[in-house]
Amino acid sequence: MDKVKSPLGRSLIHGFLVLFAIYSFIPFFWTALQSFKSLKDANSRTPKFIFTPTWDNYTDLWLRAVPENGATIAYFLLMAVVVLICLLLFAQYIPIRNGVIYAFVTFGFIALLWGIPRLVETAKFYDYFINTIIVTVGTVVVSISIGCLAGYSLARYTGMAGVVVLVAALGFRALPRLAFILPYYWIGTATHLLDTHLLVILTMVAVNQPFTIWMLRSFFMEIPRELEESAMVDGANRLTAFIKVIIPIMWPGIISTALFSLLLAYNEFLLVRLLTQTNWTLPVAISRFTGGEDPRHLTLAAASAVSATIPIVLVILFFQKNLVKGLAAGAVKG
Amino acid sequence: MKRSTFFRFAAPSIFMMTVLMVIPLIMAIWLGMQFMTFANITEPQFVGLRNYIDVLSDGRFWQSFRFTALYVAVVVPSTIVIGFTVALLLDQVSQFTRGIYLSIFLLPFIIVPIVGTLMFKQLFEPSGLFTYLYQTILDTKFRYTDVSVKVLILLYGIWYVTPFALVTYFAGLQTLSQDQLEAASMDGATRWQKIRHIVIPHVQSLTILILLISIMDAYRVFDSVFVLSEMNPIYKADTVMTYTFQTAITVQRLGKANAMAILTVVGVMIVLIPNLIQSYRQQIEER
């Protein structure tokens, strides 16, 4: 569209956009503020914007006991995370093969996550955080690897069977989750898999599969057939052509899909709530803080909400372009 | 691609869908015919169609059905109108400012729904910012009643889903044909006429897409209702999903809950089948 030119019109547009930004942002702002308040300040009937900030809510949430040299440890951990993130950001400028750097960073994060409970006494919330990471990573890896194969073959095969699978997947996506989750509960009881990561990951992959294959298929459709056909003329079979030729140029699409799959797994509440008793992920753990009798639930809920949001916001900031592209191109959402 | 190659590639996915979607769905029909609690989960008692009759004559089920319908009827149109308006406005500003606005606008959408609802709720706690504003402006106390809880659920629904409509429309606006717009300007069309006759028809396919997806998501709403109503029956703010959950977990009538889920599936299917047939035809044409 052509742009509005009058200064009044332009300032009205910006005014409205700023209002909408405030509307989108205010729950985050208020919760973040509450999470740094002492219980007395947080419960004050007139909202307090000036107060002495405190880390107490966060330390209570994450730690069983605050170590004496807590500040030093926190500083060290923060530095380690910053270094690892910088390595990721500037990987392409470092004259070492990118794969090596990514492997090192992954290893570094795992070592950190493993090391933290050995440095300080962590509370239950840390275990839930680890559970979330295991379940999320597991779900993304499994659903993307089998989804890529299916998405690719659905993009290339034009027979009837392909259409049936696609339409069936669309139908499954629209059905209420509970219709699947209640039988999963029964299956879990029968196989004694209830409360294990394996069951949660497998069922989460199944529930997200329809979405993943539709989205990946739409990305594969954009890649011209001639690419793998020329490779196959040169003697490669389809699987080799797929891995060597198609996958390398599909990375942006795979990342977009993986991002959505990650959000779905990280956000899932109902499935985890029903299929686990102690191995909760963050959404289930956090839901415990709603409307509890304990007067501390207000500030603890705020601190847990902020804690669960920061990792996901970091990931999204990293990949925002892929997210917007996925929304625009994939045209499917969980 | 040959048929056999297709099946070899798609095998893991098809296997997954059969074992963890088709079979559970059939199982749910069977489980819906059992009297089953957590105590006798391994040896349920067959009761035939009694659970299904139970559900259909349950007043609270129909009440939750009505609230779900209200939720869909309010949230879906609101998100489309707000999303489209904001996308048009966003299209007016420069590339750089767009990026900043967009990352803020996307926040409600990327956040964990449970956490988002929790943050939303913090505003309406007795010590919350909006509770305070409400009391200062309207001079009455903000209370959790069956009306206010429902309004909060609807407001949260709009807050949470709008970014999706917004981004989709915004992407659609980037592919508008400039020639058509220029031609319209030459003919002296006003801005409103251009929006009415060029932009809205251009994004029509997106509107249908957003409608479909947000309706699908809206009737399945669970997380936000779970947090905002605290599953307290006095607010009468159950949706079909939360009521099914309560039947399974709180009341421990697993058989009845399965029957309820299956009846919901049947209801959804009635609406869905025309759409599925249409996309089936579309896929046949495209191949």
Distance between CA atoms of residues A94 and A87, nearest Å = 9
Residue appearing with tokens 């979330």? A132
CB-nearest partner of A176 from B12, B105, B261? B261
Closest residue, chain A, to B5 (C-alpha): A153
Fold of A125-330: MetI-like fold (1.10.3720)
Q: Please give the residue range of the domain that contains residue B133.
A: 49-286
CB-nearest partner of A28 from B31, B93, B119? B119
| Count of residues in chain A | 334
Position B63 scores a pLDDT of 93
Q: Between B243 and B45, whose confidence is greater?
A: B243
Q: Check B264 against A178: CB less than 8 A apart.
A: yes
Position B229 scores a pLDDT of 87
Average pLDDT over residues B203-223: 87
State yes or no: ipTM above 0.85: yes
Position A329 scores a pLDDT of 59
Position B48 scores a pLDDT of 85
Distance between CA atoms of residues A201 and A279, nearest Å = 12
Residue appearing with tokens 């009827």? B73
Short-list B97, B155, B111, CA closest to A17: B97
Distance between CA atoms of residues A131 and B75, nearest Å = 33
A190-210: pLDDT as tens digits: 899 999 999 999 999 999 999
Sign of the four-CA dihedral A206, A199, B33, A270: negative
- Output the CA angle B217-A323-A30, nearest 5 degrees: 75
Q: Check A25 against B262: CB less than 8 A apart.
A: no
- Partners of B222 on chain A (C-beta within 8 Å) are 177, 269-270
B231-255: pLDDT as tens digits: 888 888 899 999 999 999 888 899 9
Structural domains counted in chain B: 1
SS3 B34: strand
Phi/psi region, residue A307 (left: phi>0; alpha: psi -120 to 50; beta: rest), is alpha
In a domain, B4, yes or no: no
- Residue ranges per structural domain of chain A: 68-120, 125-330
Q: Which residues contact A44 (CB under 8 A, 6 or more apart)?
A: B127
Closest residue, chain B, to A326 (C-alpha): B168
- Partners of B171 on chain A (C-beta within 8 Å) are 324, 327-328
- Partners of B3 on chain A (C-beta within 8 Å) are 157, 159, 161
**H or E element in which residue B92 lies:** none
Task: List the CATH number of the domain containing B86.
Answer: 1.10.3720.10
In a domain, B20, yes or no: no
In a domain, B31, yes or no: no
Sign of the four-CA dihedral A110, A143, A327, B110: negative
Contact between residue B28 and residue A179 where contact means Cβ atoms under 8 Å apart? yes
Average pLDDT over residues B60-85: 95
CB-nearest partner of B9 from A45, A150, A266? A150
In a domain, B12, yes or no: no
Q: Which residues of chain A have pLDDT under 70?
A: 290-295, 327-334
B7-36: pLDDT as tens digits: 989 999 999 999 999 999 999 999 999 898
Distance between CA atoms of residues A1 and B191, nearest Å = 9
